[in-house]
Amino acid sequence: MFKPVRGKVLAYITQKREGEWKLLVLKEVGSSGGYEVPGGTIEPDELLIDALYREIEEETGIQRHELTLMRKLKKSNYFPEDRHIVHERSIFLVQLDEPYPETWTHTVQGEGKDAGLTLQFEWVSLDDVPPLDANQNEAIDFIQRLAY
């Protein structure tokens, strides 16, 4: 039997900070989980680009007008080990145009399963991106090549 497919978006949010390109990563406060990038599920009848900006705003607090969409990097399938579903991922490169702190926390907005979670954000060098959960590193090499 075929596994159901769920559409997902991932955002590689970058910013040039002190002459070096950095990537925004997050961790759930109080969790033993690893690093991730912002992203989530595409709602029924939602445009891909609208899902991208909605997920960014819900998870980070960053508004659409503060961002520039640079390009779609990759579309791929991810098979979560603990679920009988396929995540069809669209991964985007987005540049943050406004100044933001080196680290901050934000409580997730919206109605999804992560609503109410507090997330810790930090900027990491593109040369030293930590392992990201759920194979979210899969397109990091593309942005490393684009940045240099």
Q: For residue 143, what is the domain's CATH number?
A: 3.90.79.10
Q: What are phi and psi of 60, to 5 degrees?
A: -110, -25
The answer as to whether 62 is a domain residue is yes
Domain, as residue range, for 80: 5-119+135-147
pLDDT at position 80 is 86
pLDDT at position 146 is 84
Rounded CA-CA distance 107/81 in Å is: 27
The answer as to whether 73 is a domain residue is yes
Rounded CA-CA distance 5/11 in Å is: 20
Q: Which residue has the tokens 């002459």?
A: 19
The answer as to whether 125 is a domain residue is no
Rounded CA-CA distance 14/143 in Å is: 9
The answer as to whether 70 is a domain residue is yes
Low-confidence residues in the chain, pLDDT < 70: 1, 148
Rounded CA-CA distance 68/93 in Å is: 9
The answer as to whether 91 is a domain residue is yes
The answer as to whether 143 is a domain residue is yes
The answer as to whether 128 is a domain residue is no
The answer as to whether 129 is a domain residue is no
Q: What is the pLDDT of residues 91-108, one digit of tens each?
A: 999 999 999 999 999 999
Domains identified in the chain, total number: 1
Q: DSSP 3-state assignment of 94?
A: strand
pLDDT at position 148 is 63
Rounded CA-CA distance 44/76 in Å is: 19
